[in-house]
Amino acid sequence: MSGWSQVDLATRRFWRAVGRPVDLVGHPWLDAPVHTAGPVGDGWLDAAAHRAGGSVVRDDAAAGLLPDLAALDGPGFTAASLHPLVRDFYEHTAGWRMDAWSQWSPVAAPGGSLIAWAFGRRVQQLAIPVRPLDVSRGIDSRVLPVLDAAGEQVWAGWLRRLRATDDVLFSGAYRSVAVPGHPSPCVHVAFPLEQGNVQVFLAPTAREDGALVLDSGPGLFGAPGAYVLVLDAAGRPHAARAPVHERFVVFVDDEGTLRTDHHLRLGPLRALRLHYRMTRA
């Protein structure tokens, strides 16, 4: 076993130790794609489609992360109150181009560099940019819907690559899902990893100006938040809540440009700020 394989195995053992066994039949909200081995990239998509009894659509120029944002409607949120551009971005994400800026907290930047070096570029997943110039040439974005046997979208694969290096920034699976600890559906994002994944459940709210706020927030197991799921040697899943808090504000500025502010906290630490500008491709 290579040194990196031992590191990956030790990481999974840690999350099993701090987590709890879960039955995905009883916790379907945690049932999300995992990867088998090697670099992630788009390697999980075919397995996810096979499991759903369907296929991957690789050439839909109008594909969206959510086919209809009204799937998130519930107490305290209605998609009809959002700005049309915000809604269009989520329903037709493939038709948008992204530019990004990043700023790490000086305290968190060394840890971010370590994660990017040890995991991000090697695994081709969660290669979070550490230096502002890493994203200076923009981000390439592809949306690949995963359909079930009836042709319904069960996931949207969203691959974002840094144009400067072609490294995979994020390879995520997106859907809407109900979680036990929240009254309305959440945006569910899963980042497949070897024998596991990182999952984030984001609760939506709409501002009076038509902006969409997605917040993972702190809370108990079963509430919106960040989770790590790993499989043991027998394929049994274990899940743990991670001390990560993410907040997205998707809004249209006073010049009519669609933008997103993304804040990431690690426990009490304000670790990373990202800003995205989205324009039609």
Q: Which residue has the tokens 């997106």?
A: 174
What is the C-alpha separation between 256 and 154, in angstroms, rounded? 32
Task: Provide the residue type at 252 as one letter.
Answer: V
Q: How many domains does the chain have?
A: 1
pLDDT tens digits in sequence order for the chain, 281 residues long: 567 778 788 889 999 999 999 999 999 999 999 998 878 888 899 999 999 999 999 989 999 999 999 999 999 999 999 999 999 999 999 999 999 898 889 888 887 777 777 777 788 787 777 777 778 778 889 999 999 999 999 999 999 988 877 878 889 999 999 999 999 999 999 999 999 999 999 999 999 999 999 999 888 999 999 999 999 999 999 999 999 999 999 999 999 999 999 999 998 999 999 999 999 98
| Domain containing residue 176 | 3-280
Q: Please tell me the distance from the alpha carbon of residue 194 to that of residue 154, in angstroms, as a whole number.
A: 21
Backbone angles phi, psi at 229, to 5 degrees: -120, 130
The three-class DSSP label of residue 256 is coil
pLDDT score at 2: 61
